[in-house]
Structure 1
Amino acid sequence: MLIDPPAWPAHGTLWSHLVSDTSLHELRTFARAAGLPDRGLDLDHYDVPAGRHEDLVAAGATPVDGGTLARRLASSGLRVPGRERRGATRAALTARWATLRAPADAAWGHIGAELVERWSEPHRVYHGRLHLAASLDALDALLAERTDAPSSARVARLALWFHDAVHDGEAGRDEERSAALARELLTPLTAPGATASGTTAARLTCDDVAEVERLVLLTATHDPAPGDVLGALVSDADLAVLGDSPARYARYVHQVRAEYGHVPDDAFRTGRGAVLEALLALPTLFRTPTARARWAAPAAANLASELSRLTR
């Protein structure tokens, strides 16, 4: 555990950074034991007010200068680079949401604001804004390779916005609640309406809403039927992290463990091992040709390597 001097001014005080160069799970466990709120976690570090600096040093954090802390975090593989960080800000995601409908539509803006808040909940470590931005990027990459990009691509994007909008760590139930939320928030927008600028907002149909629900539920199994184009796109985009570089996959593994930090080690290994075995047992992990070509081989290697570590 490392902490730098209070040097960053905000909210009437100076702030330090608290990091682990070993484990996000260790970082969250240490922070909670010290009474730091979960909302203080900013992807790869905790922001700590100056008044807590000495307490955390006394609790076991090693004081270092800012440069040393930055280098140790970067070499750990846990650091979130600036490009990813910028794409996952509230402002960036709010702007991205606005592109799916007429920006002047106030109701649409309210829904987007609620979703961004949900994805920003402090108990999330992996299933947060960073995952949302990455899955939307993956979907864009898949669509860019298609010459027959479906006209309903907006529905696929909406499904990704909603697919973990409710996340309490209950497999299956989270997807059901997220699908119900999509129905609740989007159904009122299926009637035509005028925007503040006087133009007609791009309509959603009842069929669109039903398809968003279906796609959200599909992310519980990641097993779309043959010929389910939108299902394949949404499932592949959600799983894209599995086929990332070994370093980024390792960061994802740390994020998942920290998010389920309340689960004892033995129980986590058992549950995580079951998830990995289920993914490896799928006939094919990715369903679109582009995703298979890009991510299937590295995903298989990443999953098998993690499962081997767990069983050891």
Structure 2
Amino acid sequence: MEHAFPLPVPARGRMIYIDPPLWPAHNTVFSHLVSDTSLAELHGFAAAAGIDARAFDLDHYDVPVRRYPELVARGAVEVDGGTLVRLLIRSGLRIKARERSASLVHPLLARWEALVPGANGLGAELLNRWGEPHRRYHDRRHLLAVLEAAEQLSEGPPPRTVLLAAWFHDAVYRGAPEDEECSAELAGKLLPEAGSPEAEIREVQRLVRLTAGHRPEPGDTAGMLLCDADLSVLGRSPEAYRRYLADVRREYAHVNDADFAAGRRRVVEQLLEANPLFSSPAARNRWEEQARRNLRSELERPRPAREPQD
């Protein structure tokens, strides 16, 4: 859409901004709607305008061209795309590329190729699974975080079996108790195609199954490494931990608030009962103290109403 008037340069303040509808998708073009103040302000504006909550994408709403004039009439300030990005960065609300699942396909595929040369097809299949639309926490960002955490905890390169298990540990994810077992079975089905020997496959399956309870036996170095890497999110900064909680809530959007709160409380209490929470000294030194603060804070925090869903 072309404009017959110049786009204004915004002043600082509590405003909602929109860029021109130039981004093609679904047989139309889209604008981005953002706030320079808070996501709460953005969600409030979107709800009042009747924008589907599923149009929210981490730090903005995608809105089709047909809604553009109405949203401007409602008070959204027109800016060019570059100005909109700068406003997001200045506000601190901009989500970096590594926090966007879709941006991680090529970096993760490069990691897979280094781990299993010549099996790009299998790597692409796994990345497609990790990119399924119902995932909000257990997505490619989580896969990368587990791989990086395993590297941080290892004195040298992590064992190949641990890295393979990281790739498979949530390859099947439906939020069901049998997910880990199904993921282990998937490893048994697909790894022969990559030339993995039988002993390696059995070890990968064993490690994947351990992530169901995160309780490796003493002396199980590989199991401790994978389980601690999987739980490393608990030791993030308070802000990052809040984002993790929001993502988990979105994964369980089909569960009502009361049931979700009760189930989440049981999970947190079980985690706090574990002493220690992390199995290895390296993980305890890195994350134990912060993880316990985050978990206790979650129990003490009033449970908010469900946030808008993507």
| Interval of TM-score (by shorter of Structure 1 and Structure 2) | 0.7 to 0.9
| Distance (Å, rounded) in 1 between the aligned partners of 2:59 and 2:260 | 21
Cα 1:154–1:49 shift into 2, 3 Å: farther
Residue 307 of structure 2 corresponds to none
Give ranges in structure 1 of 5+ residues lacking alignment: 191-203
Residue 293 of structure 2 corresponds to 301
Instruction: Report SS of the residue matched to 2:150.
Output: helix
Instruction: Report SS of the residue matched to 1:99.
Output: helix
What amino acid is aligned across from residue 165 of structure 1 in structure 2?
A: A
Residue 191 of structure 2 corresponds to 186
Please give the root-mean-square deviation of Cα atoms over the aligned residues, in Å. 3.2
Cα 1:63–1:311 shift into 2, 3 Å: closer
What amino acid is aligned across from residue 101 of structure 1 in structure 2?
A: V
Instruction: Report SS of the residue matched to 2:23.
Output: strand
Q: 1:261 aligns with which of 219, 234, 253?
A: 253
Residue 201 of structure 1 corresponds to none
What amino acid is aligned across from residue 6 of structure 1 in structure 2?
A: P
- Listed one character per residue, the Cα deviations across residues 154-174 of structure 1 (whole Å, up to 9, x for unaligned) are 11011111111111111x211
Residue 18 of structure 2 corresponds to 4
Residue 63 of structure 1 corresponds to 76
| Distance (Å, rounded) in 1 between the aligned partners of 2:60 and 2:257 | 22
Q: How does 1:142-157 map to 2 (within 5 A)?
A: 142-143=153-154, 146=155, 153-157=159-163
Q: How does 1:13-28 map to 2 (within 5 A)?
A: 13-18=28-33, 21-22=38-39
What amino acid is aligned across from residue 228 of structure 1 in structure 2?
A: D
Alpha-carbon shift at residue 46 of structure 1 (Å):
4.4
Higher-Rg structure is: 2
Larger RCO: Structure 1 or Structure 2 (Cα < 8 Å, ≥ 6 residues apart)?
A: 1
| Distance (Å, rounded) in 1 between the aligned partners of 2:276 and 2:198 | 32
Cα 1:112–1:2 shift into 2, 3 Å: farther
Instruction: Report SS of the residue matched to 1:17.
Output: strand
Cα 1:273–1:218 shift into 2, 3 Å: same
- Contact 1:4–1:69 (Cα < 8 Å) also in 2: no
How many residues align? The count is 279
Alpha-carbon shift at residue 243 of structure 1 (Å):
0.3
Residue 220 of structure 1 corresponds to 212
Give ranges in structure 2 of 5+ residues lacking alignment: 1-14, 305-310
Q: TM-score, normalised by structure 2?
A: 0.78
Cα 1:284–1:47 shift into 2, 3 Å: same
Cα 1:271–1:299 shift into 2, 3 Å: same
Residue 159 of structure 1 corresponds to 165
- Listed one character per residue, the Cα deviations across residues 251-291 of structure 1 (whole Å, up to 9, x for unaligned) are 11111111211211101100111110111111211112221
